[in-house]
Amino acid sequence: MPTPLSNPLRNRRSRRFWLWGATICVAGLTLAASAQLQPFVENPNPNSPVNVSPDNSAPAQPAFQMQSPPGAWDRFWQIEKVSDEDEWTRHFRIGAIVGLNISANFTTKGTFTLPGNNAANGIYDDGYVRVDDTGNAQGYTSYWGYNNASQLNGSTLTMHSTTSYTTSSSSEERSEFPGFELAYGGNIWAWGKARIGWEFGFGLLPISITDSSPMAANVSQNVYTFNTGGIVVPTAPYQGGSSGIGPTIIAAPTSVTSTNISSGTVSGSHKLDVMLYTFRLGPSVYWDLSEKLGLAVGGGPALGLVSGSYKYNETVTANGTSIKNSGQIDSTDVVYGGYVNATLTYHIEDHGDFYVGVQYMPLGNATIGGGGREGRLNLDGQVFISAGINWPF
């Protein structure tokens, strides 16, 4: 038998259940009837599916489809993806460039042997004493010559042969260089009058920097003395032939000594002759400033390849004598960095623009050389000014 409190509680729960059920049923029937009686409403979207009447005689008007409004964030940005069917989604650019703020440091440090020394064959810095056509009969030769009157002292003729020099010198040269560039890019998103995309660029810049600063050097020489045999020595400069006829001197040197001249100099030229190849890839943003003008900015990583030669053409001077010394060292170096640029375009016709631009591309320093001779190409502050033709397509 139920308790006095259990029956009233159960009865109240039952009445609430049936009351909620009846309310839901009535609401459902009302909405269904309203939907059956509601006429068709014109669909503002003509591309949406249409409702067909039951007798298939004529299509009814498209049913109205509600679309949720864009969120506040989407309304603010309004960024849309650019499709391949849109105009001006890509561009190709070619033009001339001028590289500015490019310099080179030339360093020569150490002891350098002069391979042009040919004293073993009787050729000296300031003359020669060689074997004549008689084979130096009786130890005499007519095949001799000298350059300066200071080499003759009585019957003693002195010859000099520079073997090496030691120096420690550095200098810097700076210049501007012309070249050309190519660039290809595309747009991915549109944002009002702006287009956001990417760009790949390639640059080619021949660089030739020459240093002509003289260097102080400690020069090592071998000194050879010859006996003229009491003949009347022709005045300097004199160059005898190999026939065996004419003034002759004793062919073998009477002494050979070595000396160092601390007051020697090295003059001539040291030259970096290289090609700079640059590669860059990064995002870009393009703005339509007006119907004719546009502005693009971009930035990203960059790479440089420096390939070429360090060339030297020297004259080593000491103790009144001079000797030529020249050579070339080939090398390649890779440098890394980044870039930022800005390009202004002027639209002249369909798919045709003029452009001018400026680009800052720090790439570090490239080193060309070896064996104590070094040319360091400074690319850590280079700036490019460019102009040419741009094809949007």
pLDDT the model gives residue 230: 83
pLDDT the model gives residue 205: 98
Cis amide prior to 234 (ω within 30 degrees): no
pLDDT the model gives residue 26: 41
Question: In this model, does residue 45 exceed pLDDT 50?
Answer: no
pTM of the model: 0.73
pLDDT the model gives residue 334: 97
Q: Are 103 and 209 in contact (CB under 8 A)?
A: yes
For residue range 243-264, list pLDDT tens digits in order. Answer: 999 999 999 999 999 999 999 9
Question: Sheet containing 144-146: which strands, arranged edge to edge?
Answer: 123-124, 127-129, 144-146, 238-239
Exposed/middle/buried for residue 165 (C-beta within 10 Å: 0-12, 13-18, 19+): buried
Show Cβ contacts of residue 278 under 8 Å, excluding neighbours closer than 6 positions.
201, 202, 203, 204, 205, 302, 303, 304, 305, 361, 363
Q: How far apart are CA 259 and CA 275, in angstroms?
A: 42
How confident is residue 75, by pLDDT bands cut at 50, 70 and 90? very low
Report, as an integer, the average pLDDT of 336-360: 95
Q: How far apart are CA 366 and CA 240, in angstroms?
A: 50
Residue with tokens 């290809």: 184
pLDDT the model gives residue 118: 85
Report, as an integer, the average pLDDT of 20-28: 43
Report, as an integer, the average pLDDT of 94-116: 94
pLDDT the model gives residue 82: 52
For residue 145, give the nearest of 38, 235, 13 by alpha carbon: 235
